[in-house]
Amino acid sequence: MSIDLILTGNVVTPFNVYERTSIAVKGGKIVSIGDKSSMPAAQEEVDVKDLVILPGAVDTHTHSLGTPEEGHWNSTSAAAAGGVTTINDHPLDIGGAPSSPSDLQNKAEKTAKEAIVDFSLLAGGLPEKLDDILASANAGITGYKMLMHSTSGAHLYGMRAVDDGELYAMFKNIAKVDQVGMVHAENEWMINYLVDEWTKQNKTYLAAHHETRPEVAETVSVCTAIELARDLNMRLHIVHVSVPRSFDLIERARAEGVKVTGETCPHYLLANHDLWKEVGSHFKINPPLRSEESRQGLWKKIREGKVHMISSDHAPHPGIQEPNVFDNPSGSPGIETMLPLVFHEGVYKGNIDLPKLAQLMSYNPARLMGLYPQKGSIEVGSDADFAILDPQKEWVIEGGKLRAQSKWSMFEGMKITGKVVSTYVRGTKVFEDEEVIGQRGYGQWVKKVRNYDL
């Protein structure tokens, strides 16, 4: 049997690190892992020396169409440059959230023309279209996205905050088809009340963003979602968790048999709510950045095994800087810097080891979305998706050099250690030496195969 590629280096799986190990690839799949001397000759052999070969990151939370300027060419180029080989695209799309099988098929066809990494799709959970939940269940989707808060620009996407009755009705249908319901857990009415109060008092300075979105606005919504999921036996995933207590609530529910998981994001792990002093309104994100105590608390939850995955919540916008914080859009470009930032703060600083990194950013996300074993791990039979990372490389984040169309970063000027130097998708190199070399349209729609319990 002839081999297409043999890649040699320090191979990281979700459970171990194998130094100076080779991976044989044929037809885009991993066919062998071990000593190179035991493998047939290959058309191409690449030895990355002491660099780290990680399973390509799987991002559960990407917004490619939330602004007309971004699109899947930009978002997947940024993904490739950041070692992300599969994105899970959320349905907050300009022009309306895809919820029906035909909506999803149309989005998949358009995405496939632009993407250079692989992609999966979430459907919109819309209370006005309850029947779409049932109709779309077997369309290959990874789940449904619902909003408990009308996040920035939601009116442009045909999505809004749903009340508890609407959420219950959608959860009931999702449970019927044994799919995953993903929720943005912030309390709409609490936040609206506080924003109105602050505005009446002319308290529209930058810090007013997090002052009007207290931690309890998240935790009370997490509790509500968990209780509904418990009653209906629905698979629940809480996106972009920013509060350590939320993970305690999730863990307590899991101990009682509730099928619930949670993710956090790099910005909650590397920055606190004082970041506005350095980057202005570019710190604005929903849920907001929290206190330094909460930031450290999230790392504690990771070490305790209570955090199931890390996602980017990549949501670039033009970077408007209005004096009234409430007039500024929320969201941040993040997919290109996600893996390096978590490596820097996690592995380089000793908070986690390399296998834990692979669990949080590849293995668990792929399992949540039902894409494993095709995605999420370096093992025989899996897609040959790799992120080659130089663990000693120091570099400075410069927003103007990032691939997202927004050309800014909330981490502007930050010096970090750990850089993605090349990325492979299904055995094909799509990024190398600072250049995106993947072909537009190479990315494929990866459909859910089955549910896994994390």
- Full-model pTM: 0.97
156: confidence class by pLDDT, cuts 50, 70, 90: confident
Interval 236-292: pLDDT, tens: 999 999 999 999 999 999 999 999 999 999 999 999 999 999 999 999 999 999 999
Interval 34-63: pLDDT, tens: 999 999 999 999 999 999 999 999 999 999
In the chain, what are the domains?
3-53+383-436 (2.30.40.10), 56-368 (3.20.20.140)
CA pair distance 199, 196, nearest whole angstrom:
5
The pair of structure tokens assigned to 293 is 């105590």
Given a cut of 90, whether residue 228 has pLDDT beyond it is: yes
139: confidence class by pLDDT, cuts 50, 70, 90: very high
Chain-centroid distance, C-alpha 302 = 16
212: confidence class by pLDDT, cuts 50, 70, 90: very high
379: confidence class by pLDDT, cuts 50, 70, 90: very high
Given a cut of 80, whether residue 151 has pLDDT beyond it is: no
DSSP SS3 for 155: helix
Rounded average pLDDT over 58-80: 97
Interval 318-348: pLDDT, tens: 888 899 999 999 999 999 999 999 999 999 9
Q: Is omega for the bond preceding 287 within 30 degrees of 0, making it cis?
A: yes
Per-chain mean pLDDT for the chain: 97
Interval 100-111: pLDDT, tens: 999 999 999 999
Given a cut of 70, whether residue 177 has pLDDT beyond it is: yes
Rounded average pLDDT over 122-136: 97
1: confidence class by pLDDT, cuts 50, 70, 90: low
- Is 156 buried (19+), middle (13-18) or exposed (0-12) by CB count in 10 A? middle
Q: Would you say 134 and 179 are in contact if contact means Cβ atoms under 8 Å apart?
A: no
